[in-house]
Structure 1
Amino acid sequence: MAASPASTGSRPNRAVLLTVTCLGPCMVLLDNTIVGAALPDMQHRLHTQLTGLQWIVDAYVLLVAMLLLSGGVYADRFGRKRVYLTGVAVFTTASLLCGLAPSLGWLLVGRVLQGIGAAALSPASLALLAAAYPAPQERIKAIGLWAGFSGIGLAAGPVAGGVLTAVFGWPAIFLVNLPIGVVLVVVGLRNLEESRNPSAPAIDSPGTVLSVLGVGALTYGLIESGARGWTSPVILGSFTAAVILLAAFVAVEARRSAPMLPLRLFRQRLFTVSNTAMVVVGFALMGSSFFFSQFFVYVQGSSVLRAGLQTLPVSLAMVVVSPYAGRLAARHGFRIVVTTGLALAGLGLLALGRVHADTGYGNVWWRLGVIGIGFALTMSPLTGAAVQAVSPQEGGLASGISSTTRQIGAVLGVAVLGAVVRTRQSGGATFETGLDSAFLAAGAVTSATAVLTGLWLARSKPAEGSVAPRRSTDRNALTTSNNISTKSR
């Protein structure tokens, strides 16, 4: 791997590099959480229904989920600076398109392009940072700052979204990315040094295309089923296409010498259980948070700004607790921390399913806080468990797969829980009742997964040649996992 000249450069150059590589992912994470606060205003101004709101979120998350692994390979093969700045430029241009979109259709086109840009810039930013800081201790500090910036974006999203939407309307949540993106491109072109990995694996184009189409067909069926009916030929056809495409994806990956998703890794129970739990984390966290602002606006009658502030306990709890999750898992083991986190998140969601229009905020905020604490305790340890299950040479791949499974869970969470709400409404229930059912469903799935990890997470054997499951090596795995574990919550 060619080392970046920035690794031996001056401190000011390193400071610029660190700022540029941290602000890109921060912008992406800000976009993840800022959109939720603006959904009620989008629904009103774009004259769309719940299905349209689901697509606004999933059109973005789907592309990130399916292209994240390929984005890292592109960065290694074609140059990390080139891929990073291209990703920033695409994301920024797409943000402009979203902000100027005259209709839902144009907004969805912009969201798809945003997802492509995010999938390119996110792994490339970390690769640039790793190349610039070859010394392990300095690299750990740099990655800590990188994760900290991501946390700022995560926490600032609900408040920023509420303020911008209340003052300027929903387009402002996308237009705010323009000055950041332009500055990153200009400064990055002048200050970033190129680096690449000549021995990077070949790009798995067939696997990438099949995965996007397969998960996309499944998502379409889940989201559109509310409007068209579960037995509609279009919906049944989309589910059939999803099965065929995903089966073809598995067949292709099993035969390729350098697949984007090595299926052999799933022979390790620790790897399989940790990634299964990560799917549920994405499913329950993203699926439920999709409805938080809608609950406060449509059920409790809050303003958009106030709703953004009211959802803040989830983000704040995650930002505060996340840095300690890895340390706790290193001390007590993956099973205890992950199972405790999932149990707390499940209980919080079940409790949230019992709130109503007349429930005071003093009896709501703590439920959101418990949900945030619970999920914060799971993400880094689950990624660390996946890393520990494989050989040391495949730790980066395992961490990337863990992030991808969380994103896939997020796509399905928005689609499935939205289907729960629509199904309840079609049966004559109110929107409030539908939301309660969605929160209860997310809580039940999360609680059941806590039982799964409690039974199986610690019984797994590491892969041949991998790190042994001792507390000291738990810490090493968690250090590696923190590279990507804060992405796209």
Structure 2
Amino acid sequence: MSQHWLATGRASPRLVLAVVFVALLLDNILLTVVVPIVPTFLYMTEYEGAKSSVSPTLPEPTPAAPGAPPFSGSDTTTVPVRGFTSAGNGTRSSPPGPPARGCLQGGEFLAQENTRVGLLFASKALVQLLVNPWVGVLTNRIGYHIPMFLGFTILFLSTVMFAFSGTYTLLFIARALQGIGSSFSSVAGLGLLASVYPDDSERGRAMGTALGGLALGVLIGAPFGSVMYEFVGKASPFLVLAFLALLDGALQLCILQPSRVSPEGTKATPLTTLLRDPYILVAAGALCFSNMGVAMLEPTLPIWMLQTMCPPQWQLGMAFLPASISYLVGTNLFGILANKMGRWLCSMIGMAVVGISLLCVPLATNIYGLIGPNAGLGFAIGMVDSSMMPIMGYLVDLRHTSAYGTVYAIADVAFCMGFAVGPSTGGAIVRALGFPWLMVAVGALNVAYAPLCRLLRSPPAAEEKMAILSQECPMQPKSYTPKEAQRELSLTEEAENVE
């Protein structure tokens, strides 16, 4: 009975979708769980000098008074900090501006930490950026199943390393290792979905659901990390994730059979050819610039909040909650609606809203003022992602060979470009110009790029594919819309495979 269930499951697109959903979910929980932890962890260990009684591998924030969270207004003790004296009565010796209760001391350290935290966050995307093209080529040769399992294995190792890393260098290595695992999981996962959902509309819904896993991971990660770090300890969220990763590995073993080599049935279009396709480049640019905004917020927003709002620790993660919830809604909603109203239009509107939302972020004076801009940002990025991911597969079907590993490597490269350039440059821009000007720059960039999405309204089919259609239907050589052309080509390729 169990063997029959497994055989049925391996042939079921829905179970394949479930495997990809879980893989993206865990990867993105790990992606964002560190966002509220790293800035304060580095401050506690490097700036304040961790107490000898705290384990170097499992440092925990130590409240100054019983029941008082770190950095909160109830802190009434005096802590010597490398030449600074931090008093809980609101006295601030370094950061300029009016006194505020519970604000961090050491403005110079916080300014430098913007850059260091940005580089640490960006290391994952930079490594993923370099590995993605190779993973795309590998999936075309051996299939998607083995790379998916490799992604799980590396993700598990990275999670365990995060749990027991007590220095900036080890955290940096763990983040970079996560980039390798993410490359295998995302490229192989999206390519696998595109192959098991050949119909364009069904593929769009499946991609929206899979991106919902990504969104749910982002939704859970930051609040989960901040609460667990403050009340349980630094290692706790990572150990929970490591256990969940083991369950994901068992699911992959049952459904995907990762020991089996199953290369693509057709020879894939070379990467260099796809990179010369202007329509693929426009879609990749939309993915890159829309995600660059939230990538710049991840390392800089918590530190800006610490400097200007003086919030308790748990609010650093909760600030990202509206963006995560709205992204989850946007990806699932427009995974269905985008095909009906036009994916190019969804992307264009989404990029414009991303820009406007980023411009509004610096106007907030407390965490409640961040709800509207962050919610608009997440919803708009969901519109762009749920539209551009299916378009990537559609463009390959329409203009190239229907093998998806390479094109989703390009899509993931674009995604990673945003998360690599964003954090690595965002911290430096904040230090030079300030956080508000950073938001103005990236917001204006998104608004300026939005009109280019109109080019994806009706992309032409490749000449050789139109020639195939003309031979199959000589009486109607010019009557095909892009959707009709893609449908006819799918039918032709299926017939050729049967023969």
- Distance in 2 (CA, whole Å) between partners of 1:58 and 1:164 is 23
Q: Which residue of 2 aligns with 1:347?
A: 356
Instruction: After superposition, give the CA deviation of every residue in 1:338-362 in whole Å (9 maximum; x if it has no partner).
Output: 221111111111111333xxx2444
Report the number of matched residues.
Answer: 403
Q: How does 1:85-484 map to 2 (within 5 A)?
A: 85-125=149-189, 146-186=210-250, 188-189=252-253, 192-193=256-257, 194-198=259-263, 259=270, 261-262=271-272, 264-355=273-364, 359-392=365-398, 393-394=401-402, 396=404, 397-424=406-433, 434-453=434-453, 456-458=455-457, 461-464=460-463, 465=465, 470=481
| Corresponding residue SS for 1:95 | helix
Instruction: After superposition, give the CA deviation of every residue in 1:397-416 in whole Å (9 maximum; x if it has no partner).
Output: 33431222121122111122
Alpha carbons of structure 1 residues 27 and 140: separation in structure 2 relative to 1, 3 Å: same
Q: Which residue of 1 aligns with 2:120?
A: 56
Point out the structure with the larger helix share: 1
| CA drift at 1:333 | 2.4
Is the CA contact (8 Å cut-off) linking 2:149 and 2:252 kept in structure 1? yes
- Distance in 1 (CA, whole Å) between partners of 2:313 and 2:212 is 27
Instruction: After superposition, give the CA deviation of every residue in 1:462-486 in whole Å (9 maximum; x if it has no partner).
Output: 433379995856998xxxxxxxxxx
Alpha carbons of structure 1 residues 439 and 139: separation in structure 2 relative to 1, 3 Å: closer
Instruction: After superposition, give the CA deviation of every residue in 1:12-56 in whole Å (9 maximum; x if it has no partner).
Output: 997987655542221101112222222322331342722221122
| Corresponding residue SS for 1:302 | coil
Q: Which residue of 2 aligns with 1:44?
A: 43
Is the CA contact (8 Å cut-off) linking 1:350 and 1:439 kept in structure 2? yes
Instruction: After superposition, give the CA deviation of every residue in 1:65-103 in whole Å (9 maximum; x if it has no partner).
Output: 322343244345346444333322222122212221131
| CA drift at 1:366 | 0.8
Alpha carbons of structure 1 residues 166 and 415: separation in structure 2 relative to 1, 3 Å: same
Alpha carbons of structure 1 residues 173 and 435: separation in structure 2 relative to 1, 3 Å: farther
Instruction: After superposition, give the CA deviation of every residue in 1:356-408 in whole Å (9 maximum; x if it has no partner).
Output: xxx24443311111111222211222334444444443462334312221211
Q: What TM-score does the superposition give when structure 2 sets the normalisation length?
A: 0.69
Alpha carbons of structure 1 residues 413 and 276: separation in structure 2 relative to 1, 3 Å: same
Larger Rg: 2
Alpha carbons of structure 1 residues 132 and 195: separation in structure 2 relative to 1, 3 Å: farther
Instruction: After superposition, give the CA deviation of every residue in 1:289-327 in whole Å (9 maximum; x if it has no partner).
Output: 332333333321112212212221111111001122244
Q: Which sits farther off after the overlay, 339-348 or 280-289?
A: 280-289
Instruction: After superposition, give the CA deviation of every residue in 1:131-150 in whole Å (9 maximum; x if it has no partner).
Output: 88899999888766544433
Q: What TM-score does the superposition give when structure 1 sets the normalisation length?
A: 0.71
Instruction: After superposition, give the CA deviation of every residue in 1:137-169 in whole Å (9 maximum; x if it has no partner).
Output: 998887665444333212111211121221234
Is the CA contact (8 Å cut-off) linking 2:9 and 2:255 kept in structure 1? no
Is the CA contact (8 Å cut-off) linking 1:353 and 1:438 kept in structure 2? no
| Corresponding residue SS for 1:101 | coil
Q: Which runs of 5+ in 1 are unaligned?
A: 203-256, 425-433, 477-489
The residue type equivalent to 1:383 in the other structure is: M
- Distance in 1 (CA, whole Å) between partners of 2:284 and 2:198 is 29
- Distance in 2 (CA, whole Å) between partners of 1:201 and 1:69 is 18
- Distance in 2 (CA, whole Å) between partners of 1:343 and 1:139 is 25
After superposition, the CA RMSD in angstroms is 3.7
Q: Which sits farther off after the overlay, 93-102 or 7-16?
A: 7-16
- Distance in 1 (CA, whole Å) between partners of 2:194 and 2:373 is 38
- Distance in 2 (CA, whole Å) between partners of 1:288 and 1:379 is 18
